[in-house]
C-alpha cells in the first residue's frame, strides 16, 4: 500500500506518535511524515506510506498555512504556553498597535530558531542543548511570510492566520510581536490548515481511525506533486527504469506525447494505468530533443518507485 495519508494531528502527541499509530494500523514497513508539528499543534500532517516515503524530499520546500492564537503579556522559555514562564505583565496595547506589529513581519526576512526546536547546532538539535542549560547562538534562517491576517482580538489573546514559507516558526512570530509591543507574547494555540497541496478538508481524524477507512483515503502517488508534469511511458521502458536505466533521447522521442518542457523541469514518468515509475529532471528542452543524438541522456532520474 503506497501513497499519502493526510492526518488531522490532535494536540498532545508528537508527529512521530502519529507515524507509529499508522504503522500499527496498516502494518506498513515504511512510514514517515512531512513537516513536524509540535505537540501543542493540531492539523494537517501528510504521512508517506511505503514507496511514497521516497517522495518526502519533494515536499520539503512546501509553503504552509496556519491559524494561531497568541497570548500577549507572557514570555516563556519555549515561546509557547508549554514552557516555563519567564515574565508576565498586563498588556497595555491597542488593537491597531497589535495589527501593525504583526503586519510588520510580512515579507522576506530572517528568523532565529527557538531554543527548544529540532534545528541542529554542531550536529545536535537545539532542544538538547537547551535541556542541558547550555546557551547556543544558532544562525538566523531566511523565511518569508506571504500573508498575515488578524482574525479576532480578545485580549490578552489574538487569533491570526498566516501563510508562510517552510521553516517558519509561528511561536517565534508571537515572541517577536511581543517584543515589538514591549509586553512579551507566546503561542497559545496552533492549527495547520494547509501543507503544500494538502488541505484541512482532506485530513482524517486520528481517533478511531481503522484500516478500512484509512485505506479508502490514501492518495495514490500519481496524484501527489500536482505541479510536476506527467509523462506516460510504456511497460518496457518502465521496467528498464526500475533496473536503473537513464532515459535516452531515443526513449523520449518514442513516447506517445511529450509536453512542452524546458531544460531543468521536473517530470513524473508514469504507466498508462497511472503507476508512478520515476521522478526525473529534463536535461534538454522538449523542442531540442530532435536535434540531439538519440544515444544522449535526455533526463536525469532522481527517484525510482516500485508502485505495484
- Look-up of cell digits 488541505: 199
CA pair distance 229, 299, nearest whole angstrom: 14
User: CB of 93 within 8 A of CB of 181?
Assistant: yes
**Cα dihedral sign, 200-4-33-59:** negative
271: its cell numbers:
504507466
Three-state DSSP class for residue 153: strand
- Report DSSP state, residue 291: G
CA pair distance 108, 143, nearest whole angstrom: 6
User: CB of 190 within 8 A of CB of 170?
Assistant: yes
Q: Residue 38 catalytic? A: yes
Task: Name the E strands within the chain.
Answer: 3-9, 31-33, 42-49, 64-72, 74-76, 85-88, 107-111, 120-121, 124-125, 141-154, 157-164, 185-195, 198-199, 204-205, 229-232, 266-270, 276-282, 299-304
**Cα dihedral sign, 156-159-164-169:** positive
Of 274, 211, 200, residue with least CA distance to 49: 211
C-alpha distances in Å from residue 70, one per residue of 77, 171, 261? 15, 8, 45
Catalytic annotation, pick one of 38, 80, 176, 307? 38
Three-state DSSP class for residue 34: coil
**Residues with catalytic annotation?**
38
Amino acid at each position: 500500500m503506497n501513497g499519502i495519508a493526510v492526518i488531522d494531528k490532535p494536540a498532545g502527541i508528537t508527529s512521530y506518535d502519529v507515524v507509529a499509530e499508522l504503522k500499527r494500523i496498516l502494518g506498513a514497513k515504511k512510514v514517515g511524515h512531512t513537516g513536524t508539528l509540535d505537540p501543542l499543534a493540531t492539523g494537517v500532517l501528510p504521512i508517506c506510506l511505503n514507496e511514497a516515503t521516497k517522495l518526502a524530499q519533494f515536499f520539503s520546500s512546501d509553503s504552509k498555512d496556519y491559524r494561531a492564537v497568541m497570548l500577549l503579556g507572557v514570555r516563556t522559555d519555549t515561546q509557547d504556553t508549554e514552557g516555563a514562564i519567564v515574565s508576565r505583565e498586563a498588556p497595555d496595547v491597542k488593537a491597531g498597535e497589535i495589527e501593525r506589529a504583526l503586519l510588520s513581519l510580512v515579507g522576506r526576512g530572517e528568523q532565529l530558531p527557538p531554543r527548544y526546536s529540532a534545528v541542529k547546532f554542531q550536529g545536535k538539535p537545539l532542544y538538547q542543548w537547551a535541556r542541558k542549560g547550555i546557551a547556543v547562538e544558532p544562525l538566523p534562517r531566511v523565511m518569508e511570510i506571504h500573508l498575515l491576517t488578524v482574525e479576532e482580538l480578545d485580549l490578552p489573546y489574538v487569533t491570526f492566520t498566516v501563510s508562510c514559507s517552510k521553516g517558519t516558526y509561528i511561536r517565534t512570530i508571537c515572541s517577536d510581536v511581543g517584543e515589538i509591543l514591549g509586553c512579551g507574547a507566546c503561542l497559545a494555540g496552533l492549527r495547520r490548515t494547509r501543507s503544500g497541496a494538502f488541505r484541512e478538508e482532506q485530513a482524517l481524524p486520528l481517533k478511531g481511525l481503522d484500516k478500512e477507512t484509512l485505506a479508502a483515503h490514501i492518495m495514490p502517488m500519481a496524484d501527489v506533486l500536482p505541479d510536476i508534469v506527467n509523462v506516460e511511458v510504456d511497460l518496457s521502458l518502465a521496467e528498464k527504469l526500475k533496473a536503473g536505466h537513464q532515459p535516452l533521447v531515443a526513449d523520449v522521442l518514442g513516447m506517445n506525447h511529450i509536453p512542452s518542457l524546458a531544460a531543468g523541469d521536473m517530470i513524473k514518468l508514469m504507466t498508462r494505468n497511472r503507476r508512478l515509475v520515476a521522478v526525473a529532471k529534463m536535461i534538454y528542452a522538449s523542442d531540442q530533443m530532435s536535434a540531439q543524438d538519440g544515444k544522449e541522456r535526455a533526463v536525469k532520474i532522481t527517484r525510482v518507485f516500485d508502485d505495484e
